[in-house]
Amino acid sequence: MRAEPDSFIRGMLNALPEHAAIIDGAGMVLCVNEAWREFARRNAAAGFADEGEDYLAVCRKAIRSGDRYARQALDGLESVLAGSTEAFTMAYPCHSAKEERWFTFHATRIDAPPGGALLRHANVTHRKLAEDNLREREARQAFLLELTDALRRLEEPREITQTACEMLARQIGADRAAYVQISGEEFVFRESHAKSATRLQGRGPVALLGRTMIEACRRGEMVWSDDCDLDPRFSQPEREAFRHFGARAFIGATLIRNGEWVGAFGVDSIAPRKWTEAERELVREAGARIWAAAERARAERGQRESEEKYRALFESIDEGYCILEAIVGEPGHVQDFCFIEANPAYLGIVGAGASIVGRRGCELFSIIEEEWLEAVADAALRRKPVSYEGWSKALQRWLDAFFMPIGAPGAALCAVRVSDTTERHRAEETQRENAQKLLEADRRKDEFLATLAHELRNPLAPIRNAVYLQERYLADASGAARLPGLLKIMRRQIDHLVRLVDDLLEISRINRGVIELRKEPVELASILRQAAETSVPAVEAGGHGFTLDLPQEPIRFVADPVRLTQVFANLINNAAKYTPSGGSITLRACREGEEAVVSVRDDGVGISADMLPRVFDLFARADSPRHRTQGGLGIGLWLARSLVAQHDGTVEAHSAGEGAGSEFIVRLPLPPAQEQLPEEPPPIAPVVLAPPARTAELRVVVADDNRDAADSLGLMLKEFGAVPRVVYDGRAALEAVKELSPHLVILDLGMKEMDGIETALRIRALPQGEKTMIAALTGWGQAEQRQRTQEAGFDRHLVKPAGIDALGQLLREAAE
């Protein structure tokens, strides 16, 4: 009976993959399968019993030996056998010396009599490990996600490593976590977190890790030690160093950048700890992520800083800078552009008050020249850098621009650097004009010097001839009769020389602004008559007809009569000079409102249109042969204009061209009509050239270091009947004064050693010089000079060359 079901049951049990057994209601093992028996034989494991053994007793025995899973199993089994539960399941470890094993224990009640239970032990190690792994992986992934998430929100690389240290230490349950930087042969703890140990800080030698580890680190591998004290890879000193830092076990993920070992990220434990592979994997993956996050932060910070720098640079450079996007019309043709960026300097150049970002070129500029659009097309579309300098009609300025392609090829963008070169262009223009003017002035000066030499030679030749003839005539008794003719020639030529030199002096005075007008109430007609009179010789020499057309009403105003006479005489002389003989000259004057208008007209050679604007320039002379023959210096009109300007008037030249005659019109401002000048102006004193009365026995000392000048003055004085003593320096003058107690002393101011001023001061200090009249003789006649001589005790101030009448006057005054 028993054999049938037995073998049936046994066969059934053997078909099960697990270790299976059937027990009866009292716990007696009725039947086990092969797997059960085999496992029991190999492991002599607790929880297994053979057929005929009391399974419950086996369990109790295991409980007694400290197996807490056996207690659980017994409780479960008893409740199944008692019928209070249908089935019971539990998992338990059943490790062998070689491997970790996990089992499940199932007990299922057998309802058919006599009852009992089906027991199954299944080896689920694979499943359990797979599940554990999965769980662990999930947990790790969750942690890594959380870590990445936390780090993403941080901007500073330091914050990132610090936060990562805290999170990782917590996750692994390590005592500490740290980020270590490798610099050269040293490691430096940068950021660290310590849960239950002192924080890692300071630095140490990389050599501490031992050669094997260092090499692994350099290869970018993970390094770890479960117990540094026992780790055979460390030497004794290295172990001590670990002890010094308080690390007994550690895991480190090395950080490699550009093939270089630059740092490590790891956790450690103050006690030995067996790190699991999952933990090592976690540190490795976390290390990689932290490193990536820190790199990202560093890069972002770098970019932020470089953007800030770029922005600051962009905003602060004093050259205009803008970024344009080309607006394309027909293919390859730019019809407008849009501003993407523009710095303040650019806004300044284009005169835009507010930002122009987003605005179009055509909104900003009334006209955009084709050349600018073409340059934008070259840079933005054809990706070719170009520079262009041109005039912007819209801005009315010169702009120099450099266009650079930027952005991706299809972006149609270009950066433009613009500078305003208007000032430079203006400066260049002025420079060109100035150079032209200088050239012209230089040419005129050369011409002037040549003319001057010629003009000076003209009178010198007849003078030299006359002197030569004089000697001949004097040697011959009959020659004396011919002397007056010679002397007339000499005097005329010398007068001409003096006039030339006077004109030259005048230029220098006007240019230095030292010319002084002696203004007084004057009447225009009398000035014009005087000028006409002065010009009579020139008009007569040309055989011209002369018409003087003066107003009925007197025109009175305040002016320097001598200077104005000079101006009009000059114009009349020119008219006579530049009119072929037998011409006619008209001098006309009238009042026009609050102006006196004087015109000097001739029907002479005229002035060409290109010469007309230049006739008043210094040394300006017309080039035509008709003008040339007159050999002027080109000073007269310049002087005339300067003197008229000093009277607040103007002078204009008119001519219809060469051969058409000329007209010069002078306009002088008049006081308002009602403001009548009180008195009739005195007539201008005619120039008196009569020799002075003889002043007999007048003792005169003459001192001048120019011997010729001194001697000839001595002769003149003798001629006037005075008794001159001629000396050539100040000291000799003092001696002469002591000796002669003269009536008059004439001193040249510019004497070497002791000049005229000092000599005068010393003479005044002498008893013989106290009352003597002292006269200065000098080339300088301005008020300033006159004041100086007056202060030095001079009584008179004569300007060289002193005319005969001035000398006569001086002698008369000294005689009084």
Residue nearer to ligand ADP on the CB measure, 174 or 633: 633
Q: Which residues of 159-185 are buried (b: 16+ CB within 10 A; e: fewer)?
A: ebbbbbbbbbbebbebbbbbbbbbeee
Residue nearer to ligand ADP on the CB measure, 157 or 632: 632
Residue nearer to ligand ADP on the CB measure, 224 or 568: 568
Q: Does 605 bind ligand ADP (CB under 6 A)?
A: yes
Q: Does 574 bind ligand ADP (CB under 6 A)?
A: yes
Residue nearer to ligand ADP on the CB measure, 662 or 772: 662
Q: Does 223 bind ligand ADP (CB under 6 A)?
A: no
Residue nearer to ligand ADP on the CB measure, 633 or 727: 633
What does the alpha-carbon distance between residue 336 and residue 325 come to, in Å, rounded to a whole number? 9
What does the alpha-carbon distance between residue 225 and residue 218 come to, in Å, rounded to a whole number? 17
CA-based radius of gyration for the chain: 63
Least distance from ligand ADP to the Cβ atom of residue 615, Å: 4
Per rule CB under 6 A, count of chain residues that contact ligand ADP: 21
Residue nearer to ligand ADP on the CB measure, 635 or 811: 635
Instruction: Give the residue, chosen from 578, 720, 728, 780, that forms a contact with ligand ADP under the rule CB under 6 A.
Output: 578
Q: Does 206 bind ligand ADP (CB under 6 A)?
A: no
Among 410, 346, 428, 335, smallest CA distance to 377 is for 335
What does the alpha-carbon distance between residue 181 and residue 158 come to, in Å, rounded to a whole number? 12
In degrees, rounded to 5, the angle at the alpha carbon of residue 713 between the alpha carbons of residues 712 and 714 is 90
Q: Does 720 bind ligand ADP (CB under 6 A)?
A: no
Least distance from ligand ADP to the Cβ atom of residue 506, Å: 12
Residue nearer to ligand ADP on the CB measure, 399 or 575: 575
Give the contact letters, 646-675, x = binds to ligand ADP (CB under 6 A), - = no: ----------------x-------------
Q: Which stretch binds ligand ADP (CB under 6 A): 123-131, 162-170, 573-581, 591-599?
A: 573-581
Tell me the angle at which helices 730-740 and 756-765 cross, rounded to the nearest 10 degrees.
30
Residue nearer to ligand ADP on the CB measure, 402 or 664: 664
Q: Which stretch binds ligand ADP (CB under 6 A): 41-49, 210-218, 550-558, 617-625?
A: 617-625
What does the alpha-carbon distance between residue 653 and residue 642 come to, in Å, rounded to a whole number? 14
Token pair belonging to 537:
């010789």
Q: Which stretch binds ligand ADP (CB under 6 A): 102-110, 150-158, 540-548, 570-578?
A: 570-578
Least distance from ligand ADP to the Cβ atom of residue 637, Å: 3
Q: Is the four-CA dihedral 347, 348, 353, 354 of positive or negative sign?
A: positive
Q: Does 572 bind ligand ADP (CB under 6 A)?
A: no
Q: Does 602 bind ligand ADP (CB under 6 A)?
A: yes
Q: Which stretch binds ligand ADP (CB under 6 A): 144-152, 603-611, 687-695, 804-812?
A: 603-611
Q: Does 544 bind ligand ADP (CB under 6 A)?
A: no
- What's the per-residue H, E or C state across 424-475? HHHHHHHHHHHHHHHHHHHHHHHHHHHHHHHHHHHHHHHHHHHHHHHHHHHH
Q: Does 575 bind ligand ADP (CB under 6 A)?
A: yes
Please, which residues bridge with residue 22 across strands? 31, 118
What does the alpha-carbon distance between residue 287 and residue 204 come to, in Å, rounded to a whole number? 21
Least distance from ligand ADP to the Cβ atom of residue 606, Å: 6
Edge-first strand listing for the sheet containing 19-23: 29-32, 19-23, 117-123, 102-109, 87-93
Token pair belonging to 187:
């490691």
Q: Which stretch binds ligand ADP (CB under 6 A): 189-197, 406-414, 613-621, 800-808?
A: 613-621
Among 670, 684, 660, smallest CA distance to 591 is for 670
What does the alpha-carbon distance between residue 637 and residue 650 come to, in Å, rounded to a whole number? 12
**Which own/partner pairs from 670-679 qualify as long-range (CB within 8 Å, at least 24 positions apart)?**
670/555, 670/557, 670/591, 670/594, 670/595, 670/596, 671/557, 671/558, 671/594, 672/594, 673/594, 676/556, 677/521, 677/556, 677/557, 677/558, 678/521, 679/521
What does the alpha-carbon distance between residue 241 and residue 515 come to, in Å, rounded to a whole number? 101
Least distance from ligand ADP to the Cβ atom of residue 439, Å: 20
Least distance from ligand ADP to the Cβ atom of residue 576, Å: 8
- Residue of closest CB approach to ligand ADP: 632
Token pair belonging to 347:
């806004």
User: Residues 761, 765, 771, 772: what is their CA dihedral angle, to the nearest 10 degrees?
Assistant: -50
Q: Which of residues 621-640 bind ligand ADP (CB under 6 A)?
A: 621-622, 627, 632-638
Residue nearer to ligand ADP on the CB measure, 243 or 454: 454
Residue nearer to ligand ADP on the CB measure, 260 or 446: 446
Residue nearer to ligand ADP on the CB measure, 578 or 720: 578
Residue nearer to ligand ADP on the CB measure, 346 or 578: 578
Structural contact between residues 171 and 143, judged by C-beta atoms closer than 8 angstroms? yes
Q: Does 641 bind ligand ADP (CB under 6 A)?
A: no
Q: Which residues bind ligand ADP (CB under 6 A)?
A: 574-575, 578, 602, 604-607, 615, 620-622, 627, 632-638, 662
